Every structure is written in C-alpha cells, then in structure tokens.
Structure 1
Amino acid sequence: MRALWLALMLCLGAGVGTAQEVAAVAQGALLRGLDKINGSAQDLELANGQSGVFGSLDVVLGECRYPQDDPAADAYAYLTISEQAGGAVIFSGWMLASSPALNALEHPRYDIWVLRCKI
C-alpha cells in the first residue's frame, strides 16, 4: 500500500518544484466497465458515495480527485468493488485514469477503470 501511495504522489507531480495543487474532491467520476466474455462496455457515472452495478459487481465511489491547475490532466478515484453474490470485496483502493494498470481490478470476467472526474 505504501508503494501505491508513493506512486500516486509521483504521478501527480508531488516532487519539489513541480507540485500541483489537488482539488479537495470532485462531484463524482465517470468509470468504464468491460465484460471480457461478451466484449460489451458500459460507462458508469457515479457521485461521491454513490454505488452502481456492472454485471455481477457492485461499485462504490468514495471520491474522485484531480489536479486543480489542469482538471483535464488526470483523475484518481477511490473505489470499493464487491461481488453481488456473497458481498466479498474484491477491490478497494485508488485507481488512476492515466495509469489504470498501476492498481487494477483483477477479475476473470470484468475490468473497471476511471475515465475522469465529474467537475
């Protein structure tokens, strides 16, 4: 988890001389889900604290943040994803729009990633 936090800070340009101010919280996020079996994709637009359903997964958006100086640059969202059957949490953490593989959902059927924050 510590390595993920460090990577997040580096991706956001938190180094000396290149620091970007990050907006406290956006209104929500736009996510995309992919069903790898049938090839269908669906967008989920969620407000902070709201949940949505993609296939057999429940997706809860904690919050979405973005660089204040450049809202179109990058988004990162805190997601909790669980199976509807049984309610087991299969992902909980930050996802970055610019680097979805950095902290990705690992599921045999579904992929979910962040596209952008709702501003």
Structure 2
Amino acid sequence: MMRAFLLVLLLAAPAMAQQLDPNNSDGDNGGFTLEPELDVDGAGEDGSFGFVIEEEQEKVVTASGAVVRALDRVSGALSDIEMMSGQTIGYGRLFVTLGECRYPESNPASNAFGYLAIRNKSDGDTLFQGWMVASSPALNAMDHPRYDLWLLRCITS
C-alpha cells in the first residue's frame, strides 16, 4: 500500500510543480526576477559595465622541491617529508613521487600546488596521480584506508 502511495505521489509531482511565466501580465512572479535588468547608461569609461572582460593570469614559479605531510592512521605517526622534484621516496607501504611544485610569484607562502604520484609498494598500482593544492587539501585528496598524504608547501630556496 505504501509503495502504491509513493508511486502516485512521484507521478503527480511534475503536475504539482509551479512554473514561473515570464510573460505574466500581473507582475507577480513570487518575488523572483526572471530577466536581469542592465543599466546601459551606467557603463564605465571603458564600456565594460563593471564586468571583468579578461582575467589576468597570476604568474607562478616552479620550486625545486616540496614538503609533504604524511599520516599513518594506524600508528598515529605524523611526518613531514622534504622531497626534490622528480624524487621518489618510500613511506610505509607507499612510493611517493613529486613531479613538480609551483607557487604564486607574488606570494610564495600561499597556494602552493604540486603534482604527486603515489603507488603501492607491493603491486605497483597507482593510488593517486594528480595535482594537490596546499590551501585546499581535500579538493583533490588521496583516498587510502591507512595513509593520508597532502602537500604543505613548496621549498623556495
């Protein structure tokens, strides 16, 4: 009986959904504006209306190495590993290779990002391969039941 009720409710949902009519003559759209209004007379001197026409790309510098933090969840051991670009190190049951580390030229202490390849020692399977961002480690994280590794910073000198 419950399944039949849910099926009827599921089939009736599109019919009950409210649709906004952009040509509604009484002007009542539930407080929503359907089309943005542009103030053509409010254009700036360059005629850009305050929008960014072209975004300037921030210049980055390639560092000689990086610092990677590693956590063994079983033992609770936390290690900071200094690596040079192209170097492969062993950590627990993993091989960690640093391809490259880059950072913004204007602010070396922020937003470092590095290319890491992490493989299993026993069978050589690639567990992670890609860019990690120091300021957002969960953005592209390695998924492993025992180990967590993330980029801390680039080595600048």
Q: Same fold judged by TM-score > 0.5?
A: yes
- Corresponding residue of 1:20: 58
Cα distance in 2, alignment partners of residues 74 and 85 from structure 1 = 33
- Corresponding residue of 2:96: 59
1:85 partnered with 2:122? yes
Which of 101, 106, 115 matches 2:143? 106
- Corresponding residue of 1:3: none
**Rg larger in 1 or in 2?**
2
Q: How many residue pairs were aligned? A: 103
| Structure 1 position 37, deviation (Å) | 1.0
Which amino acid counterpart does residue 16 of structure 1 have in structure 2? E
Cα distance in 1, alignment partners of residues 147 and 68 from structure 2 = 13
Deviations 1:18-48 (CA, angstroms, capped at 9, x unpaired): x42111x100000010001111111111000
| Structure 1 position 98, deviation (Å) | 0.3
Q: Percent identity?
A: 49
Cα distance in 2, alignment partners of residues 53 and 44 from structure 1 = 10
Partner SS state of residue 66, structure 1: strand
Unaligned runs of at least 5 residues, structure 1: 1-14
Please report the RMSD computed on the Cα atoms of aligned residues, expressed in angstroms: 1.1
Which amino acid counterpart does residue 56 of structure 1 have in structure 2? R
Structure 1 moving runs of 4+ over 3 Å: none
Q: Between Structure 1 and Structure 2, which shows a larger proportion of strand residues?
A: 1
Cα distance in 2, alignment partners of residues 29 and 53 from structure 1 = 15
Cα distance in 1, alignment partners of residues 71 and 110 from structure 2 = 23
Unaligned runs of at least 5 residues, structure 2: 1-53
| Structure 1 position 73, deviation (Å) | 1.1
Which amino acid counterpart does residue 20 of structure 1 have in structure 2? E
Cα distance in 1, alignment partners of residues 126 and 150 from structure 2 = 16
Which amino acid counterpart does residue 74 of structure 1 have in structure 2? N
- Corresponding residue of 2:153: 116
Which of 19, 27, 38 matches 2:75? 38
1:48 partnered with 2:85? yes
Answer 1 or 2: higher relative contact order, Cα 8 Å, separation at least 6: 1
